[in-house]
Structure 1
Amino acid sequence: MRNQLTTTEHYNMQLTFPLEHIEVKMEVKRKLIPAFKAYDNKQMHMILDLESLIPSHHVARIIDEMIESIPDEQLLAPYTGGGRISYHPNMMLKVILYGYSQKVYSCRGVEKLVQENLPAMWLAAMQQPDFRTLNDFRGVRMKSFMDELFETMIQKLISDNFITMENYFLDDTKIEANANKYSFVWKKSTLRFEEKLKENVQATLAHIHTLTQQEASEMAATEPDELPVQLEETVVILEEQVECLTEQIAQTHDRQARKALRNKRSALKQPLKQIRQDFLPRLTKYEQQRACFGDRNSYSKTDPDATFMRMKEDHMKNGQLKPGYNVQIATENQFILFYSLHQRPTDTRCFIPHMEQLAASSLPMPKTVIADAGYGSEENYLYALGEEKEKRFDVLIPYGSYMHEQTRRYKKNRKHASNWTYEELDDRFICPNGRYVMFKKYQTKKARSGLEQSFKIYECEDCSECPLKPACTKAKGNRQVHWNTVWEELKAKAKTALEDDEKSAIYARRKVEVESVFSHIKGNRSFRRFSLRGLENVHTEFGIVALAHNLLKVAGIRLATFLQKLGLKKVGRRNMFSRPTFLL
């Protein structure tokens, strides 16, 4: 029993001891002190190798490699020598391209990058050109070698197997000019104001003729283009007569006679002042405006080369016009192959000038051009077909009514002659009412672009008392059909090409190819407005944008290839200088 009690006491001691020991330990637990890495921003630091901080796949390295591969004589051409030592064009071009790749489009912003951004500092070799020097290089010197520089880059992309120039995906986008939105000059208004001014000039000349009592031959009405010359001659006659009257006033002592002479002189001075200060300056201004218009309907006073166009980025959200440029871009694998800038808002008449500029360059001509229905016209199809039926290139371009003609509603519509029965032997159509529509004559029309189109005119034998006439035509007489044989043949060829399985698959890539490039430029990199003014300067600036886009594309491919070799994939968005997150 004693042993049992001893055992029980010992057991109780074993039960209570650990709990008391734990309570004591919890009371004496030490407190943790936060630890930090050493930090002292006042301590002097030295970067021995700035290049080591730039990742191998960074766009700055792509820019450096591309510019260094360009022959020196190509970039040194604008420099004549002499004067103050200039910054090297390689360095200037690198920092400007890097700025545009980082959504920095002002030279003040590029200057700030060179002072604060590590890749820009490395590209500039720690040199710091100011914004005036950068702007002079971009707006003056780059114009002389921009086209050659872009062509050199495209040739390099072809040699590196990034592109082939076989499929040429073409489309347009409108970019706002660096101009006031309300600085418009309209051609119709200018012509109307000029016509009213010429009427006032003729009335004033007739009044002067009455005052001066000149012979009709001296003050005869002339052609509108000769009005400035006639006004100058009239000014000389009026000045002589005013001077003569001034001398008579000085020699006359009679008060009433002097007053009459002064009134006569005042009557001559008034039209003389009007001609000098109003008529002649306005005629000169309207002549300059007509020369500035060319074949356009409007231009901006701030940037006379810009035309007012309807754009998707409407600041008032009500379809207002804004000054801008029509940029034609061709892509392949989402690389920009070629570009051109135009002052016309529509695409139809920009196709041939764009292809002519491509043919004049050193780049190879494409095998197939793919574009939307905005380019589908008789003139463009004939240009692609070439002279003497020798094809310049194949086209996958639908005409304007292609999609509409595929609908069931169009095929059942009796109004369209394409749905009628045609008898080739007798060269006649049979209308839905069973009456003959016979060939009548040939007719030639001239399109707005200057193309002469040949039409065959067919006329129904008798449309009187036809129950289908209200739905067929609004003409009072018989129904006529204007049939363009060449255009219908070209439409049939375009339709056959678009319905081919292999070619339709290529055409389906158009939206992915071109529209994604537009979204990158205008959406992701926010380039929606030019910084420079004038057609040549704008052409140069968009060339920088296109070069930056292609270099960013190469950098992205290089990064993807690097990750593929490691068997990793990138997760989420990250800064170029932060540590990347990868998954196996």
Structure 2
Amino acid sequence: MAYIQGEDRNQNILFPESIEEYIDKDNPVRIINEYINQLDLEALHFNRATDPRRGRPPYHPADMLKLYLYGYLNHIRSSRRLETETGRNLELFWLLKKLRPDFKTIADFRRDNKKALVKVFRDFTRLCNSWQLFGKELIAIDGSKFRACNSKRNNYSQKKLARHLAYINEKITGYLQELDECDEQESLDRKPDAREVRERIAQLKERKEKYQTYQRKLEQTNQNEISTTDPDARLMANHNNHVEVSYNVQTTVDAKHKLIADFKVIDKPNDLGQLAPMALRARKILGNQQFTVLADKGYYQVRDLEYCTRKGMTVYVTKQVYSNKTGDKDFYPDRFIYDRDNDCYLCPDGHKLSYYRTRKKHDKILGDDYRNPKACQGCPVKSRCTRAKIGRTVFRHRSQDFLDHIDEQTRENLATYKLRQIIVEHPFGTIKRAWGASYFLTRRKVSVSAEIALSFLAYNLKRVINILGTEEILRRLRENKKAVPV
């Protein structure tokens, strides 16, 4: 049986008369071209947005922006790969009018326009909002770790530096002893290699000075760690309990079409303290004062929850369950039931823990402690409950009544809360797994913010294409006036 055969490479063919004829009318590359042509790049503060009067003519920032957006939309982030594509990709021939910038020029554009690239993401968000693509009723907030351009080997804590310095001191001592032995054996026939030993000592002293410099810097800045390749990155644990030097990318996603409304790159390993700032930013971006916010237990913080509630937002967030000293789940703090009428706690074994004291910090009331030392001393399950000699102490936060209200509110709306993963983890799953962009190529927070802005812009554009279709987007873009920057 014959196989499907290709055409003869030497056969003459008649090409279309223009590049335009190669690109279909519904090709998404036309959206990139139309959208970026409408942007006011000077107002967005792109470098060289105005026509230079002197020197060699540069590439227009619109062309470079088109190249990057096309690249990220097609999972191509590297400047060298983008350079390769400009020489072989027919869609880029059309989009860039056969321009072929080298990889250095491409990389420099991203480096020189970091803040402007974030503004383009904001502008497209504004455009989606004007097209009624955000529901503005239900949003989800979450964070995800993206690996930084910094290996664990080039990340140092005080403990790690002390370990390295102890090792170096031990090696230097050993080499000094070797030099002493060499001096004693000078009269013998064997010629010891003293010069090599001295070179090793010099190398170790150089490393020692480097580590001591890191130590002093940590002490001066009062930081816990230092990354030498990317100073803004920090050691963080991901969902698989693997520890990597990373950034924590916070996102706000609207439930209607799973479009990203906002993002922020932070260098903190956890999400505490991010709920209120992200929710308030979303309120400003979406132009809606009241909506429901979904978040996981990493955002469970009284101050943020109270602030969002005061601002008219409804928050569904799972309760942060803390363990006890023994690790026995039957005696976790949430297993102690508060008796409001008698102002006491009932432990799992049925004993009452009465009010003991009010806990304060800097004259600010934190909450109350409850305990019953007498009952604990004779309790048969004390070893499972606590390791304290005096017995178990239960802390009740000053805003516990409010937290109980939040917990009850979340339990009553569990079906809505379960939408959180479907909404907010969709962009992360697409970008990190499907597109392979789980790590950054650039360094410093402002640079990785520009990187992730391009990824999120490409994600939102892809979603809008799936929602409206290419022809409808082109029609709307052509009806719009020149875009106004955010």
Equivalent residue number for residue 326 of structure 1:
248
Equivalent residue number for residue 126 of structure 1:
98
1:495-534: per-residue Cα shift (whole Å, max 9, x none)? 222233xx43332221111222222111211112211111
Q: Could you tell which deviates more after superposition, 364-373 or 100-109?
A: 364-373
Residues 1:106 and 2:18 aligned together: no
Q: Which runs of 5+ in 2 are unaligned?
A: 169-201, 473-486
Residues 1:74 and 2:43 aligned together: yes
Counterpart mapping for 1:96-245 below 5 A: 96-140=68-112, 142-190=113-161
Q: 1:366 to 1:177 in 2, by over 3 A?
A: farther
Cα pair 2:251 2:262 within 8 Å, conserved: yes
* Matches of 2:157 and 2:422, distance apart in 1: 37
Q: 1:38 to 1:441 in 2, by over 3 A?
A: closer
Equivalent residue number for residue 475 of structure 1:
388
Equivalent residue number for residue 461 of structure 2:
551
**SS of residue in 1 equivalent to 2:402:** helix
1:60-102: per-residue Cα shift (whole Å, max 9, x none)? 1222232123224324543374433221111110111101111
RMSD over aligned CA atoms reads: 3.8
Q: 1:136 to 1:356 in 2, by over 3 A?
A: farther
Letter paired with 2:360: T
Equivalent residue number for residue 393 of structure 1:
313
Deviation at 1:301, TM superposition (A): 1.9
Cα pair 1:453 1:484 within 8 Å, conserved: no
Deviation at 1:51, TM superposition (A): 3.0
1:158-201: per-residue Cα shift (whole Å, max 9, x none)? 1112213332211122111122342221133447889999xxxx
Q: Could you tell which deviates more after superposition, 143-152 or 336-345?
A: 143-152
User: Which of 380, 392, 397 in structure 2 is aligned with 1:484?
Assistant: 397
Q: Which runs of 5+ in 1 are unaligned?
A: 1-35, 198-272, 314-318, 563-584
Cα pair 2:111 2:447 within 8 Å, conserved: yes
Deviation at 1:377, TM superposition (A): 2.2
Deviation at 1:482, TM superposition (A): 2.0
Cα pair 1:165 1:337 within 8 Å, conserved: no
Q: 1:365 to 1:128 in 2, by over 3 A?
A: farther
* Matches of 1:122 and 1:482, distance apart in 2: 67
Residues 1:460 and 2:372 aligned together: yes
**SS of residue in 2 equivalent to 1:522:** helix
Cα pair 1:184 1:308 within 8 Å, conserved: yes
**SS of residue in 2 equivalent to 1:170:** strand
* Matches of 2:464 and 2:382, distance apart in 1: 62
Deviation at 1:380, TM superposition (A): 2.6
Q: 1:184 to 1:435 in 2, by over 3 A?
A: closer
Number of residue-to-residue matches in the alignment: 423
Residues 1:311 and 2:238 aligned together: yes
Equivalent residue number for residue 410 of structure 2:
498
Letter paired with 2:401: E
Deviation at 1:338, TM superposition (A): 1.0
Higher relative contact order (CA closer than 8 Å, sequence separation 6+): 2
Q: 1:95 to 1:453 in 2, by over 3 A?
A: farther
Letter paired with 2:58: S
* Matches of 1:430 and 1:285, distance apart in 2: 51
Structure with the largest fraction of helix:
1
